Structure 1
Amino acid sequence: MKALAKSIFIVVFPALALIAMIDSLWHQFSTEFTIQHVAHLITAGSIVFFFSIIFIKPIPRTDSVLIAYTFCVFLGCLLSFLVGNLQEEVQFRYTCAVFNMFLTIGWVVYLVWYSFFQHRNADQNAILTVGNTLPLLSFENASKQIITTERFAGTPTILIFYRGNWCPFCMAQIKEMVEHHEELTERNINTVFISSQPHGFSENLTKKHPLDFQFLVDVDGKVAKQLDIFAENGLPFGFQIFGFASHTTLPTIIITDSNEQIVYTNQTENYRMRPEPTELLRVIDANV
């Protein structure tokens, strides 16, 4: 139920911010200029811009820019409630101020609730413990041919489980890895990207990045369940119309040595944060 609530929240919240932004712009141009609508625009516009920019120009880590967005959101909310003293001759719209407050609360909820996988505890995942041998895993490639991890035996491997083409942070992560393709090739590393999304989407990534990286499909999330990284209702509500499945995979990175022994895992608890490729390269240089 909580996963479904998150799936709905991440669609409804930006949509409400967009409605609020349009409302504030409409009032600015259709009636007189008011500080309250400027305040409303600051809050709503900051939220809309954030969610727009992560799709237009995806980045794998957002903490460095969140301070600025959070400042603007709270600034707009504060101005909205102070406007009665700042511009007394203009009628104060309580609905506008209350909507602004709800958007600010929604922003806080996004940062402290939605962004985190609350029930994920890497220390309790006995399967993905450093030192363990990776169990035999079975995937399919874009042509629906069976590919198992036996294929990668004898060579160090990076397995990157990502949520899907719809996830801007996953796409940014893949782009970063592509940019370090030569360094990975020099180290003779298998780089494998895995998602439970339909085959066609993985095929699109294969065509977009025609390197020796592999984009495989975890059919029905069987491997994700096997490794305890399955995310029920992880897809934003409504994205099913684009052909994606409702259930996804928790972002996870596994590095194994040539003996298929796990030497590193990253089981991020924050969907906005992914390890930098340079960190993975340091692990590889130190362990394989």
Structure 2
Amino acid sequence: MNKAKSVFIVLFLLLINLSLLHVATMSWHSPLGAGWMGVFVLALPNFYLFVWMFMRRRARTSRNLHLLMATNLMGIALVLTDPGMEANPWPLVIGNLLFFGSIAYIFWYSHLGDRSNAMLNEGEKLPMFELTTLEGNVFTSEQFKGSAWLLIFYRGNWCPLCMTQIGEVAGRYIDLDRLGVKVALISPQPEHKTLELAKRFDVPMQFFVDADFKASKKLNLVHANGVPFGLKSLGHGEDTALPTVLMINKHGRIVYSDQTSNYRVRPQPEQFLEVARQKLASQEG
């Protein structure tokens, strides 16, 4: 199923871009009929959604993207009411592909499945696992003890929402530091990719590589075939980690856990900052 998703997202993005290009080319020569106008109304908001995510304004969207769904319905209505449908069925074909592709993206592709991982619930001790530092040294989860930590498991440099989320945390680093919280950013992506990312942020956050998915396997965070098809040629693997945010106190006990079931729905920084204010000073292991 995940393999199908990795291929789907690439084909859907290609369909959106080709549809807009085709409609733009046609509009130079003659006015658009209702069918092609409907294709435009379907493609443009979907295109904007992905552009908006890559612009890194916010690390989250609404779960069901109601505004996008409304424009999808408007677009498919225009396609279905095109009087020239019988003479030229292509607007109907492309319109349906865009409409059902968008629905699949919202309700199927974005969904990460059941994330009920009891070992990462609030109040649990952080399980033992190993990470690798950017210097190539082994770092165990036991070494987190003695300080409070915000642990962010992210998918990789290729994921715009992950990059935005890291940027948000970097922007609140002073607030976290004042509360005694250190930041660890963890990804199974290749070491050189993580090193590239670490150089972007002039903030003392610690970057770790989850080499061979040792930590992700231990914590049940492996997202098999979670990387979009084709990115392997750019140095990424096929598998990744499920986006997860944990906060632990100095005793290694989890005081905050976000195991999102939708990759577009990420916690606001204020959520874990409030947890740090309320729990870290009072909660003991």
C-alpha contact 1:115 1:270 (8 A) present in aligned 2: yes
Within 2, Cα distance between the matches of 1:254 and 1:247? 21
Which of 235, 242, 258 is 2:250 aligned to?
258
Q: Cα distance, 1:62 vs. partner?
A: 1.2
Describe how 1:31-180 pairs up with structure 2 within 5 A: 31-63=30-62, 66-84=65-83, 92-118=87-113, 120-122=114-116, 125-180=117-172
TM-score, length of structure 1 as denominator length: 0.92
**SS across alignment from 2:265:** coil
Q: Cα distance, 1:52 vs. partner?
A: 2.2
Within 2, Cα distance between the matches of 1:64 and 1:227? 25
C-alpha contact 2:134 2:208 (8 A) present in aligned 1: yes
Q: Deviations over 1:85-124 (max 9, x none)?
A: xxx6x98521211210121011111111111112x232xx
- Runs of 4+ aligned structure 1 residues displaced above 4 Å come to none
Give the helix-richer structure, 1 or 2. Answer: 1
Matched letter for residue 15 of structure 1: L
**SS across alignment from 1:160:** strand
2:283 corresponds to which residue? Answer: none
Q: Cα distance, 1:14 vs. partner?
A: 1.3
Q: Cα distance, 1:201 vs. partner?
A: 1.6
- Greater shift in the superposed pair: 15-24 or 270-279: 15-24
2:240 corresponds to which residue? Answer: 248
Q: Cα distance, 1:220 vs. partner?
A: 1.5
1:189 corresponds to which residue? Answer: 181
Within 2, Cα distance between the matches of 1:207 and 1:51? 25
2:220 is aligned with 1:228: yes
C-alpha contact 1:83 1:92 (8 A) present in aligned 2: no
Within 2, Cα distance between the matches of 1:222 and 1:64? 30
Within 1, Cα distance between the matches of 2:77 and 2:244? 39
Q: Cα distance, 1:64 vs. partner?
A: 8.2
Matched letter for residue 69 of structure 1: L
Within 2, Cα distance between the matches of 1:68 and 1:126? 34
Matched letter for residue 80 of structure 2: F
C-alpha contact 1:28 1:37 (8 A) present in aligned 2: no
**SS across alignment from 1:83:** coil
C-alpha contact 1:152 1:190 (8 A) present in aligned 2: no
Within 1, Cα distance between the matches of 2:47 and 2:108? 19
C-alpha contact 1:143 1:199 (8 A) present in aligned 2: no
Within 1, Cα distance between the matches of 2:222 and 2:35? 45
Within 2, Cα distance between the matches of 1:73 and 1:42? 7
Q: Cα distance, 1:8 vs. partner?
A: 0.6
Q: Deviations over 1:228-256 (max 9, x none)?
A: 11110000000111101111000111111
Q: Cα distance, 1:59 vs. partner?
A: 2.3
2:22 corresponds to which residue? Answer: 23
2:206 corresponds to which residue? Answer: 214
C-alpha contact 1:202 1:215 (8 A) present in aligned 2: yes
Matched letter for residue 22 of structure 1: L
Describe how 1:268-283 pairs up with structure 2 within 5 A: 268-283=260-275
C-alpha contact 2:152 2:246 (8 A) present in aligned 1: yes
Report how many aligned residue pairs link the two structures: 280
C-alpha contact 1:28 1:34 (8 A) present in aligned 2: no
Q: Deviations over 1:176-218 (max 9, x none)?
A: 1011111001011111010000111211222111222111100
**Cα separation, partners in 2 of 1:247 and 1:14, compared to 1, 3 Å:** same
C-alpha contact 2:64 2:107 (8 A) present in aligned 1: no
Give the unaligned 5+ runs of structure 1: none
Q: Cα distance, 1:10 vs. partner?
A: 0.8
